[in-house]
Amino acid sequence: MYPSVQFLINGVWRDGNGHGEPILNPATGASLGDCPFATEAVLDEALAAAEAAFKTWRKTIPLERARIMRKAADLVRERIEQIAPILTLEQGKPVAESRVELTYAADIVEWYGEECKRSYGRIVPSRNPDVRQLVTHEPVGVVAAFSPWNFPAVTPIRKMAGAIAAGCSIIIKPSEETPATCAELARCFVDAGVPAGVLNVVYGQPAFVSEYLMRAEAVRKVSFTGSVPVGKLLIRQAAETLKRTTMELGGHSPVIVFDDADIDQAAQTLVAGKFRNAGQVCVAPTRFYVQQDSYERFVSRFAELTAAIKVGPGIEPDSQMGPLASARRVEAIEGFVRDAREAGGTVVTGGEKIGNQGFFFQPTVIRDVPDTARVMTEEPFGPIAPIVPFKSFDEVVERANSLQLGLASYAFTSSARTGHAISEAIEAGMVGVNSLAISTPETPFGGIKHSGHGHEGGIEGLEAFTNLKFIAAG
């Protein structure tokens, strides 16, 4: 079921040269195959192919780009049942979640393809009647993109589809832990007719590949999804050649549940959102603040629903939560639980590793955790939900905004006035009120503060791959 992983360079699928590392199945810890690692020669070929392809692809009319992308989206949809098990094998999430992710990926491709036909400029009224003033969008150039392992379809497809729709060429490096999903999606673009060199896929040791591509003058745009420290490093490297950057650097999303909320409905919604992909979601609800009069009822219901989650290999159809991605993620979550306990928190349910095969961890709920505990200050990126009480609106706003992370946040209330007030007061790039649905192809996805800058999705995501040009024509 698991394919041989190859590079895509200048329209040709190629094997590596024997250097690489095993790709592990997180449900078993066994090897699925090998991920080849790029050498300088491979990266030079990818750069040359992307640079040459950009010269012609940038001139391809939007109508033709849209036609190819519509075909690519159709191919993704046709191949969902083929690709979903591959995604699950290398990443771990349940097959049902993999299907949803691939469906969303296809929607992203289709939306960007349609939107590139509407990459409008504008005419600015001139002070001189003999001069016409135009503002236009032009593709920025060769793009280098880096994506992580937690959403191996959606994260790379946002970068590939946005760049290709804008008229750019792209070299993408997906995570070496989940390379095959990105390769299968790239195959859909190739089979749809994307010209050779417009899309190139490489893998390799992250620091080596990123540093090499960041030095290349041919690369004019960098799109990265990952950790804050790596994002800061890439920004510093980009400064050397003044590359444009889009940085999505994770978050630690506060959830605020007010007394007037529908507590049962909020608990059901939040359990589903918290433990999706075993909590390995950058916009997952991660810090739970519940108003004091509803606190006991919410904790009880949330823990009850959490304890009922069936954990197992994602490839099994009845599994509701799969394994963590790696052994290091299990160790990290064990550390968060241990620290929360030592700080005075109480584990209501879960808190332990499951079995000795694969990287499974119990869905975990911890109550009464002090704000100074690591799980309240560092993004846990796993199936652990700390829940604490609050008294007043002003108090919870201060606590929710206390971190230098601002990707997503959520609030639950039956009051339109409170919903408006909290959405205005929270410092985040995205806010969901009585909903976790903050990510769609047509809306901007991005954060503020140390969660990064720039956007993917929406018209903002397309414009991220373009330069503005002002033309004064007399």
**Which residues are known to be catalytic?**
248, 282
Crossing angle for the helix pair 206-215 and 40-57, to the nearest 10 degrees: 50
Pair 330, 345: CB distance under 8 Å: no
Cα separation of 437 and 285, whole Å?
12
DSSP for residue 278 = G
CA separation, residue 65 to residues 57, 161, 258, 447 (Å): 9, 10, 47, 29
Determine contact, residues 119/462, Cβ cutoff 8 Å: yes
The first and second tokens of residue 230, run together, are: 């790596």
Classify strands 219-225 and 244-248 as parallel, antiparallel or unpaired. parallel
> H-helix or E-strand containing 84?
helix 80-91
DSSP-assigned letters across all residues of 214-253: HH-TTEEEEEEES-HHHHHHHHHHHHHTT-EEEEE----E
Distances (CA, A) of 89 to 280, 358, 419: 16, 12, 40
Q: Using CA atoms, how far apart are residues 161 and 168, in angstroms rounded to an integer?
A: 10
Measured CA to CA, the distance from residue 199 to residue 187 in angstroms comes to: 10
Q: What is the DSSP secondary-structure string of 133-200? A: EEEEEEE--EEEEE--SSSTTHHHHHHHHHHHHHT-EEEEE--TTSHHHHHHHHHHHHHHTPPTTTEE
Other CB atoms within 10 A of residue 64 CB: 12
